[in-house]
Amino acid sequence: MSPPDASDPEPSLADGDLREYVREVMDWTEYQATAYIAVVRHGPVKPSEIVAMTDIPQGRVYNVMDTLEGQAVNVQGRQPKRYEAQHPRAVLGDQREAFIEKADAATDHLEQQHEIQRERQDPRHPAWVMTGISGTKRELLRGLEHADTRVCLMEQDGRWIQSNQIRDLGRLVTDGVEINVIGTARWVDTLEELVSEAGVNAWRHEPLDCSFALFDDELAIMRVGQGDTGVKIEDEGSVKLLSTAFKAFRHEATEL
């Protein structure tokens, strides 16, 4: 874990106020808010490091972090786990209507801290586990927001793709991003909407034994099990293997 850098900007929000804002916005306990702020500022971190930098007792830290997994932090490894914060704008943004001023203050402050910490990480961890469909969906949507050239999506069940996502994909196509989607008969109606309304390239393949998304051949997000757990992969070799698999499935699929 890197120590705070002397060049870091002075906080624009007092720590006590920041913790209280996050706690109220997210309806969290004080320990949950404290832990999330610590992971944003200093992550990836182990539970023992969270205890060392906060007032969270050793006997409580695992329970606290378990409640944040998938909702606000991603986890790598098991013994010990290491935690990375999900982006503050995704975590706190859903609550902005109820707490708009506090959410904006906390989000802006933590977003700055999050970007500072990401720049410190060298090398970057190649894979992170996201527990919970909400955390996985957030990462999928974030990948779409930052896609520049190509998105390849292979989905067994596209229930997470709603009208908002169809519009977002349509905007990406308009901006020149190539969107390729392989799906199954389980959600063929949505596939057809993606073609007719968003202008994506779509194929149907039966069956599909996995679900993953590729963004600009740099990032992969794979859903495992029943889709409630996701893996974010930034390893070049692994992303390349999934890209090759996508091309093989597309070669065998029926174009819509």
Instruction: State the chain's mean pLDDT as an integer.
Output: 82
> pLDDT at position 115, please?
67
- What residues form DSSP beta bridges with 189? none
Write out pLDDT tens, residues 212-227.
Answer: 999 998 888 888 755 5
Interatomic CA distance for residues 202 and 249, integer angstroms = 12
Write out pLDDT tens, residues 125-143.
Answer: 565 666 666 777 788 888 8
Q: Which CATH number fits domain 15-120: 1.10.10.10, 1.10.443.10, 3.65.10.10, 3.40.1190.10?
A: 1.10.10.10
Helices (H), 121-256: 133-146, 163-174, 188-193, 236-252
> pLDDT at position 199, please?
94
In sequence order, the 6+-apart residues with CB closer than 8 A to the CB of 254 are 203, 204, 205
Asked if residue 47 has pLDDT above 80, the reply is: yes
DSSP 8-state code for residue 45: B
Interatomic CA distance for residues 179 and 198, integer angstroms = 9
Q: Which of 24, 20, 51 is nearest to 35 (CA)?
A: 51
Write out pLDDT tens, residues 143-168.
Answer: 888 889 999 999 888 877 888 888 98
- The model's pTM is 0.56
Task: Tell me if domain 15-120 and domain 127-255 are identical in fold.
Answer: no
Per-domain residue ranges of the chain: 15-120, 127-255
Q: Please check whether residue 170 is in contact with residue 198, taking contact to mean a CB–CB distance below 8 angstroms.
A: yes
Task: State what percent of residues in the chain have pLDDT above 90.
Answer: 40
Superfamily holding 127-255: Endonuclease Chain A (3.30.870.10)
What pLDDT band is residue 40 in, cutting at 50, 70 and 90? very high
